[in-house]
Amino acid sequence: MAKILVVDDDGHIREVVRFALERAGHQPIEAADGSAALIAFDRDHPDLVVLDIVMPEMDGIDVCRKLREKSEVPILFLSSRDDELDRVLGLEIGADDYVIKPFSPRELMARIKALLRRSGRRSDNDEEEPILERGPLRLDPNRHRCYLDGGEVVLTASEFELVKALMGSAGKVYSRGELVERAWGFDHHITERTIDSHIRRVRRKFADHGGDPIETVYGIGYRLRS
């Protein structure tokens, strides 16, 4: 069971999401606007946030920015179809995934399950994954832990999956399209600009720990340094 904060000013949408979460055995927490969401987050410490973009008091983009200042909690955006720019911006500032309104509760729950798994919450049926090591970089997928020269680097779910993708083959150059498929799957429309934004954040975090194992291969993509 996970505690999941559902933030949307539409009471009907909150009800639909709440019902789906409860059926899946999770504990929903609700907020009707951005300001209330930040209060609920600090009070209840949820494991994941489902966040609408267009809301009163404070929109989802600003809520996401404020959450990323203090937490790497998985964030899934709900976006209406005419909010393409806001949706892309949300991914660039640190959201991990998005679902477009109107949405299927089954699709939403599948995305939530995947995010929880990627962030280190595993079910009894999940198989153990091997620890990955490339030079000074060490990744523990089962515990969602990343280490550089022995020091832990805290990553969001999407950042973790990007690093994991880069560690697939030593020295291999991955195009942005390959990284999307390896980190998000085939059913996403993540832009190259979004990949670049995620990579920049990861590299800043590595630099804060004294190194940067990621190398840009201009015109192609990214790889881990030898």
* pLDDT tens, residue order, the chain (226 aa): 899 999 999 999 999 999 999 999 999 999 999 999 999 999 999 999 999 998 888 999 999 999 999 999 999 998 876 566 676 777 788 888 888 888 889 989 988 988 898 776 655 455 678 899 988 899 998 888 899 998 999 898 888 989 999 998 777 999 998 998 888 776 666 777 788 888 998 999 999 988 899 999 998 999 998 7
DSSP state letter for 128: P
Would you list the domain boundaries of the chain?
Answer: 3-118, 132-224
The fold of the 132-224 domain, in CATH, is: Arc Repressor Mutant, subunit A (1.10.10)
Element (DSSP H or E) covering residue 100: strand 97-101
Give the three-class secondary structure for 209. Answer: coil
Contact 5, 48 (CB under 8 A): yes
pTM for this one? Answer: 0.77
How is domain 3-118 classified at the architecture level of CATH? 3-Layer(aba) Sandwich (3.40)
113's tokens: 């399950």
From 2, 79, 1, 68, select the one nearest 38 (Cα to Cα): 68
CA dihedral over 157, 163, 166, 167, signed as positive or negative: negative
